[in-house]
């Protein structure tokens, strides 16, 4: 994959800075219990960049968030794109590498089953200090990342991101968060940096604003609490509805939070309200996609409507919503259906693909899933529509549920009072856990496999 430049027609700078401001003393990350300043970070980036192979792209597999940041910027300085698969699973990595002939993989760990051409980062802690040198800039139209969708609605799709687009994408999140937290804050994220949401928050915000990020990716509630304790206030927790629900259920005490940020799946209002009551901090939710980046936010506990970021315009259509945004070279259609208010805000009405019509009655998969999750004793669950039609030409509704202590009959009995009988999921299968990926999303192929290969 050669260096690619975008085709924006409006006037824009030819080059854009790699970092927020020319301040080598700014703390960019918190790693192994200590602060890492920009000067040290740039020394690491330049040393890694000088040792990279002469190729056009690399799969960035770094798990340590600081190592990911170093690799991300080193690849960019060498004019190489970061390939970001939907997961670090070997099959997902192999599929991305097959789509980019000549690429290689890059990571900080020794892998027992490494991808072809795997390059391991040198030990960053052993690198000698170096002068900061010139403040780095990149061609604005250079492709620095290729993000893949999660596969929750089908096969993962590639989305090319230029440095100009990522600058513009970051501006909306930065303005929203600074209005809540002020100019400087510290960030702990439970989502991987390879995911678009994780990249926007835990990679681009530290690079392009006055934010320090924790190098870890805590998963268990106690690990989240420990990571938060390693950064000073004000603290922002970047997470997902799945992680937030687990934190509340665990009842682990957290250091004081200034705000919580959620994305990757709809955040139930009840969960947002419970989190605000527990942590005494506002819970903000981001709306966007891998294709568009972040385009709006809301305080879910008190707002149903979304506030678009500056420069974003939505145009409802019968099959979705046309989006114009500063980070998009051309308008893009999202599958989400939206209705606009006179004040410019909007409400989501589901997705065309999620809307169901059976026997003249209508429902949405999102609402049916919400009703399943509301059944007492159901810890996790999802409702899906199968691909093949039955003898009557109807595509059946199925569900997976995590509900220790309940059986299928008890759950169906509860659902009969919550939904029309034509939408009752059959089959409804109990499982120990749903096949959620690192961001809490549910790849459709994995769901169908759990349902016994029914497609």
Residue that terminates a domain, selected from 320, 349, 378: 349
Q: Are residues 302 and 230 in the same domain?
A: yes
CB 422 within 8 Å of CB 361: yes
Domain with 299 in it: what CATH number? 3.40.50.12780
Better-predicted residue by pLDDT, 113 or 250: 250
122 shares its domain with 247: yes
Give phi and psi for 277, each to the nearest 5. -65, -40
Q: Is the peptide bond before 234 cis (omega within 30 degrees of 0)?
A: yes
Beta bridge partners of 180: none
The verdict on whether omega for the bond into residue 312 sits within 30 degrees of 0, i.e. cis, is no
CB 382 within 8 Å of CB 400: yes
Q: Do 243 and 210 sit in the same domain of this protein? A: yes
Domain assignment of residue 182, yes or no? yes
Which CATH number do you get for residue 363? 3.30.300.30
Q: Mean of the pLDDT values across residues 308-333? A: 94
Band of pLDDT at residue 435, cut at 50, 70 and 90: confident
pLDDT score, position 387: 75
Number of structural domains found in the chain: 2
What's residue 89's pLDDT? Answer: 80
Domain check: are 114 and 238 in the same one? yes
The pLDDT value given to residue 4: 37
Does some domain include residue 7? no
Q: Tens digits of per-residue pLDDT, 264-287?
A: 888 989 999 999 999 999 999 999
Q: Are residues 385 and 241 located together in one domain of the fold?
A: no
Provide the pLDDT confidence category of residue 184 given band limits of 50, 70 and 90.
very high
pLDDT above 50: residue 299: yes
SS3 content of the chain, % helix, strand, coil (to 5): 30, 30, 40
pLDDT at 98 over 60: yes
27 domain-assigned: yes
Distance, in Å, from the CA atom of 415 to the CA atom of 428, rounded to the nearest integer, reads: 11
pLDDT band with cut points at 50, 70 and 90 for residue 455? very low
Contact 58, 75 (CB under 8 A): yes
The answer to whether residue 378 sits within a structural domain is: yes
d(CA 210, CA 207): 8
Q: Residue 237: pLDDT above 80?
A: yes
- For residues 287 and 153, the model is more confident at 287
- Provide the total of helices (H) and of strands (E) in the chain, helices listed first: 12, 27
Residues in CB range of 169: below 8 A, 6 or more apart: 161, 200, 204, 293, 294, 326, 327
What pLDDT does residue 131 have? 72
- Based on the domain organization, do 275 and 181 belong to the same domain? yes
Express each pLDDT in 332-376 by its tens digit.
Answer: 999 888 999 999 999 998 776 677 767 666 677 888 888 898 899
Q: Same domain for 66 and 90?
A: yes
148 within 8 A of 290, measured Cβ to Cβ: yes
Which of 119, 117, 84 has its CA nearest to residue 103? Answer: 117
| pLDDT (mean) for 243-256 | 93
User: Could you please report the per-residue DSSP string of 374-397?
Assistant: TSTT--EEEEEEEEEE-TTS-EEE
What's the confidence (pLDDT) of residue 392?
A: 57
Which of 309, 326, 349 is where one domain is finished?
349
DSSP-assigned beta bridge partners for residue 15: 139
Q: What is the pLDDT at residue 228?
A: 98
Residue 373, domain extent:
359-450
CA distance 411 to 406: 7
* Confidence check: pLDDT of 42 > 70: yes
Residue 219: strand pairing partners: none
pLDDT tens digits, 382-414:
998 887 766 555 678 889 999 998 999 999 998
Tell me if 4 is assigned to some domain: no
**Cβ(38)–Cβ(25) under 8 Å?**
yes
| Domain end marker among 321, 349, 377 | 349
In whole angstroms, give the CA distance from residue 155 to residue 444. Answer: 9
In our burial notation (b when 16+ CB lie closer than 10 A, e otherwise), range 166-187 reads bbbbbbbbbebbeebbeeebbb
Using DSSP, state whether 107 is helix, strand or coil: strand
Distance of CA 346 to the CA centre of its chain: 21
- DSSP class of residue 213? E
Mean pLDDT computed over every residue of the chain = 89
Between CA 31 and CA 7 the distance in angstroms is: 38
Indicate if 174 and 313 belong to the same structural domain: yes
- pLDDT recorded at residue 231: 98
**Is residue 63 scored above 80 in pLDDT?**
yes
What's the pLDDT at 314? 96
Mean pLDDT of the region 194-213: 96
Q: Are 75 and 109 in contact (CB under 8 A)?
A: no
- Kindly indicate the confidence band of residue 177, based on its pLDDT and cuts at 50, 70 and 90: very high
Looking at the structure, tell me whether residues 108 and 163 fall in a common domain.
yes
314 and 435 part of one domain: no
- pLDDT for residue 425 is more than 80: yes
Q: How confident is the model at residue 157 (pLDDT cuts 50, 70, 90)?
A: confident
Q: Give residue-wise pLDDT tens across range 66-77.
A: 999 999 999 999
pLDDT at 6 over 50: no
Whether 6 is in a domain gets the answer no
Are both 293 and 402 inside the same structural domain?
Answer: no
| Residue 225 shares a structural domain with residue 204 | yes
Residue at 5 is within a domain: no
Asked whether residue 58 is assigned to any structural domain, the reply reads yes
């Amino acid at each position: 994959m050669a260096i690619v430049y975008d085709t924006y027609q409006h006037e824009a700078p030819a080059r854009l800075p790699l970092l927020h401001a020319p301040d080598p003393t700014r703390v960019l990350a918190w790693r192994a219990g200590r602060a890492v300043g920009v000067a040290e970070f740039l020394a690491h980036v330049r040393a890694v960049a000088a040792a990279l192979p002469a190729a056009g792209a690399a799969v960035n597999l770094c798990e340590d968030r600081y190592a990911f940041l170093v690799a991300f910027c080193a690849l960019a300085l060498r004019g190489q794109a970061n390939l970001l698969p939907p997961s670090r699973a070997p099959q997902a990595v192999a599929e991305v590498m097959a789509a980019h002939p000549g690429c290689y993989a890059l990571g900080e760990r020794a892998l027992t089953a490494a991808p072809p051409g795997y390059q391991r980062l040198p030990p960053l802690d052993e690198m000698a200090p170096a002068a900061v040198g010139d403040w780095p800039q990149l061609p604005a139209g250079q492709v620095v990342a290729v993000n893949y969708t999660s596969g929750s609605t089908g096969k993962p799709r590639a989305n090319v991101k230029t440095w100009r687009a990522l600058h513009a994408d970051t501006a909306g999140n930065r303005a929203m968060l600074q209005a809540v937290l002020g100019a400087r804050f510290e960030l702990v994220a439970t989502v991987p940096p390879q995911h678009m949401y994780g990249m926007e928050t835990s990679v681009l915000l530290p690079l392009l604003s006055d934010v320090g990020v924790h190098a870890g990716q805590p998963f268990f509630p106690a690990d989240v609490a420990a990571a938060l304790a390693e950064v000073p206030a004000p603290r922002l927790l970047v997470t997902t509805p799945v992680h937030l629900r687990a934190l509340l259920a665990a009842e682990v005490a957290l250091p004081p939070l200034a705000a919580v940020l959620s994305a990757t799946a709809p955040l139930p209002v009840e969960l947002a309200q419970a989190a605000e009551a527990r942590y005494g901090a506002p819970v903000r939710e981001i709306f966007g996609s891998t294709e568009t980046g972040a385009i709006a936010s809301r305080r879910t506990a008190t707002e149903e409507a979304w506030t678009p970021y500056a420069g974003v315009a939505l145009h409802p259509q019968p099959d979705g919503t046309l989006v114009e945004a500063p980070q998009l070279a051309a308008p893009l259609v999202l599958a989400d259906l939206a209705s606009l208010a006179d004040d410019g805000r909007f409400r989501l009405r589901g997705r065309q693909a999620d809307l169901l019509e059976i026997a003249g009655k209508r429902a949405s998969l999102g609402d049916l899933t919400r009703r399943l999750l509301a059944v007492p004793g159901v810890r996790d669950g999802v409702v899906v529509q199968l691909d093949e039609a039955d003898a009557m030409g109807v595509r059946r509704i199925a569900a997976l549920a995590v509900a220790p202590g309940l059986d299928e009959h008890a759950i169906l009995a509860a659902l009969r009072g919550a939904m029309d009988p034509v939408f009752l999921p059959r089959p409804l299968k109990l499982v120990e856990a749903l096949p959620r990926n690192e961001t809490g999303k549910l790849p459709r192929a994995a769901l169908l496999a759990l349902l016994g290969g029914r497609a």
